[in-house]
Structure 1
């Protein structure tokens, strides 16, 4: 049966089609919060300018409304203040999953949740893990406004990762539980430290522990090309009973479960402040025989569900406000030298950093990859039994 529509209905339908075509031809406002009216997509923007400027980026990020982060403890390098500052400034909620997770956990979340709304938008990775993620094609190229001021050797030329903050491997010690706190790796082998020496994580998964083994290697005849002496050191530490497999965290430090912790100086210095009121006398020493400095790296998930917010987060972290907040957490920000020259550095916070002499040097990508392979093959054996 044929049903005839009233002429007005047909005309209205025709007009609707014409109107829709006209809107399409003129460029109707997209539904995607990450895309501007003129078709610029935050997911492919390689800089704020590429997206139409900071105002456009802020607008798109606010429209997305959320930023998915992972493995960002609030008491790590002052991340609590950074998260609060970003949320207050832009009204964008930061969801932090698995705050005590490792760099490898972050990479695993990116690969396992590709295309999902709950995938991480941004990553804070140990440098060796950032290199690995870039090699796997997981990271989006994006250069923050002050990208040129990040020192050479501390950034990927394409902007897939760049150093954010860093410090030196240090030895933290509960002076009320340990009669004479160690100040060198050689000290850690003394029998008085039986069952007391811990790492912050597993060196095959966590950047802090990776740095701890590298520092031990440098203290025992190793080099950036040879991390094996570091494994041998921990094997000896395990054999004489000084090494504890309990991974140090703020909770284990406060409870006295890890009275000696090999960790970044900014974390140990932060514990000294945090637990002073709770009766913990936490001291910090950069080992005289194994100075190892390393930075963590910022990166954006190539498939970030909130690409505009991810890029705005990077801009915030590399602003003077963001860099100084890391500094207040005893971490050395990547733009520290540039900010000192520009007069934007918080000098009072800089004066409180643990004192270290000399100029830091860093292992190359090839050296780090080699070290990771050696660790993957030998760490479990070194500390087993």
Structure 2
């Protein structure tokens, strides 16, 4: 089972398009694609809710059930509003999400809302793929988690963490710990040229080794060293690598590990997770309404749900940090037992998000150097 929803840095492999999107577009184009009827977005939350119920469904893309506890969010949304949640290509990448809007624009199968990595928000705006929408909680969302013009808001964010099979290796507390010989031939990272979480791992390792948000080179050097010494392994996904024994260490967002606990237990894996203290890195995923959405009111209501207290608690159960975290804590809106699922306050306080220009610089550095310095030595 694929656990990490990939987000390509500027480009994605043609095979991924063939696997994820050709089937999607074929369904819409076969026998003539339906054209989405034009719908008007309500002028108030009450009106949006009424119109959304009339629309009857919301069409999402790249929302895995196990990612940030989305399965529970789907159920809660449908139970509260009576609106069905439809998801295409649940494990798709952010790049595939944008391609779906380009390809399906104006058709009934066009997604209404996306869930894209931070590095894709500017591209979505520049290509006119999203519709500005300011949710009712807009003023409670920190400035660095929203676009000032409402082109997108981020409902949650996470911190890069290390999960291990504690039956095989010790739980590392720092990135430096991964250089211990016990981890040789047992670390899975994946390809940061294709995935936002993998790119985040390089960012975090860079911060732990004297780098900065505007210089990811130290992170590339860190993994190049691990590759040279035979520490890295190639596999289809981190979850698969742990469950099959191909790896004993995987790097991912903290909010993705709860979703694989049961799977790991069935495979005899003692999954233990730690957030390295020497390189704390986090980033957000944005949920914009798409341009000329087929179900704009259902889409807007889905965004409202994700940013509501109920949606926030659902996120928090997986360890995903709700965008309205500060307001929720001040209002005691997150139950104590759920609050314990979030990273420690001292970790949350350290998270600083890269700016768009820093993300661009990191992407360029990864695209230029990862292949020769790391991938060529590991097979991915």
The question of a shared fold, defined as TM-score above 0.5 by the shorter chain, is answered with yes
Report deviation, 1:89.
1.9
The answer for the alignment partner of 1:148 in structure 2 is 139
The answer for the alignment partner of 2:180 in structure 1 is 190
User: What is the alpha-carbon distance in structure 2 between the residues aligned to residue 299 and residue 202 of structure 1?
Assistant: 26
1:336 to 313, 325, 344: 325
Secondary structure at 2:330's aligned position in 1?
helix
Give matches, 1:1-385, under 5 Å: 35=39, 41-42=40-41, 51-178=42-169, 180-199=170-189, 201-272=190-261, 275-276=264-265, 279-355=268-344, 357=346, 359=349, 360-382=351-373, 383-385=375-377
Aligned length: 339
User: What is the alpha-carbon distance in structure 1 between the residues aligned to residue 295 and residue 191 of structure 2?
Assistant: 30
User: What is the alpha-carbon distance in structure 1 between the residues aligned to residue 154 and residue 64 of structure 2?
Assistant: 18
Report deviation, 1:72.
1.2
Runs of 4+ in 1 over 4 A off after TM superposition: none
Asked if the contact 1:69/1:95 (under 8 Å) is kept, the reply is yes
Asked if the contact 2:173/2:275 (under 8 Å) is kept, the reply is yes
Asked if the contact 1:326/1:332 (under 8 Å) is kept, the reply is yes
The answer for the alignment partner of 1:3 in structure 2 is none
Asked if the contact 2:156/2:320 (under 8 Å) is kept, the reply is yes
User: What is the alpha-carbon distance in structure 2 between the residues aligned to residue 196 and residue 304 of structure 1?
Assistant: 45
User: What is the alpha-carbon distance in structure 1 between the residues aligned to residue 71 and residue 240 of structure 2?
Assistant: 17
Report deviation, 1:323.
0.6
TM-score scaled by structure 1? 0.82
- Map Cα deviations across residues 285-330 of structure 1 (whole Å, 9 max, x no partner): 1112211122222111113222111111001111110111101111
RMSD of aligned C-alpha atoms?
A: 2.1
Secondary structure at 1:82's aligned position in 2?
helix
* Max Rg structure: 1
User: What is the alpha-carbon distance in structure 1 between the residues aligned to residue 364 and residue 99 of structure 2?
Assistant: 18
Gaps of 5+ in 1: 1-31, 36-40, 43-50
- Map Cα deviations across residues 10-30 of structure 1 (whole Å, 9 max, x no partner): xxxxxxxxxxxxxxxxxxxxx
Report deviation, 1:269.
4.3
Asked if the contact 1:250/1:271 (under 8 Å) is kept, the reply is yes
User: What is the alpha-carbon distance in structure 2 between the residues aligned to residue 376 and residue 154 of structure 1?
Assistant: 26
Report deviation, 1:53.
2.2
Higher relative contact order (CA 8 A, sep 6+): 2
User: What is the alpha-carbon distance in structure 2 between the residues aligned to residue 145 and residue 252 of structure 1?
Assistant: 42
The answer for the alignment partner of 2:13 in structure 1 is none
1:300 to 1:240, Cα distance in 2 relative to 1, 3 A: same
User: What is the alpha-carbon distance in structure 2 between the residues aligned to residue 198 and residue 303 of structure 1?
Assistant: 40
Report deviation, 1:261.
0.7
